[in-house]
Amino acid sequence: MRVAIELQLLAVAVLIGLVHLLWASAAAQPQRGLKWNVGPRDEPVVLTGMAGRLERAFANFRETFPLFAAAVIVVYLSGRIGFVSAHGALIYVVARAIYMPLYAFGVPVVRSIVWLISFIGIGMVLAAMVV
């Protein structure tokens, strides 16, 4: 049985999320320290530099990923998968993979354009419901 490309791309997006988590955690470790990591984390540590950017990029991913996942699942379960949903899912995944290093290295403007492109990808997945 062949798995729909939309579901495969959803799995790739999960992997992107895991990379976000691991990269952000590794970058934050030197600023937070072991004591904070193993403690109750009562006092927040404001991260700076790349660690702060990675934390914000991961927060942004956590905002858009549930919307993408819900769109893919709804389109798949409704049997509306096809050209538009597949390309929308691909656009979202590729843009989110590009977005992470752009944000990490502090690239302005292009990062925002790539975010918009990823959002258009979600819109395309949803548009498959009516096309």
Contact 92, 125 (CB under 8 A): yes
The total of structural domains in the chain comes to 1
* Burial tier of 38 (Cβ tally within 10 Å: 0-12, 13-18, 19+): exposed
Q: Is residue 93 part of a domain?
A: yes
Q: Please write the tens of the pLDDT for every residue from 71-121.
A: 999 999 999 999 999 999 999 999 999 999 999 999 999 999 999 999 999
Category of 8 on φ-ψ map: left (φ > 0), alpha (ψ -120 to 50) or beta: alpha
pLDDT for 20 equals 97
Residue 39 lies in a domain: no
CATH number of the CATH domain containing 27: 1.20.120.550
Residue 43 placed within a domain: no
In a domain, 13, yes or no: yes
Name the residue range of residue 117's domain: 5-32+48-127
The two three-digit tokens of residue 70, written as one number: 């819900």
Do residues 103 and 111 touch, judged by C-beta distance below 8 A? yes
Whether pTM > 0.85 for this model: the answer is yes
Residues 19-37: tens digit of each pLDDT: 999 999 999 999 999 888 8
- The verdict on residue 53 lying in a domain is yes
77 occurs within a structural domain: yes
Name residue 53's amino acid.
R
Can you spell out the DSSP letters for 105-121? Answer: TT-TTHHHHHHHHHHHH
Please measure the distance between the N-terminal and C-terminal CA atoms of the chain and give it in whole angstroms: 26
Band of pLDDT at residue 45, cut at 50, 70 and 90 = very high
User: Do the domain assignments include residue 62?
Assistant: yes
Residue 37 is assigned to a structural domain of this protein? no
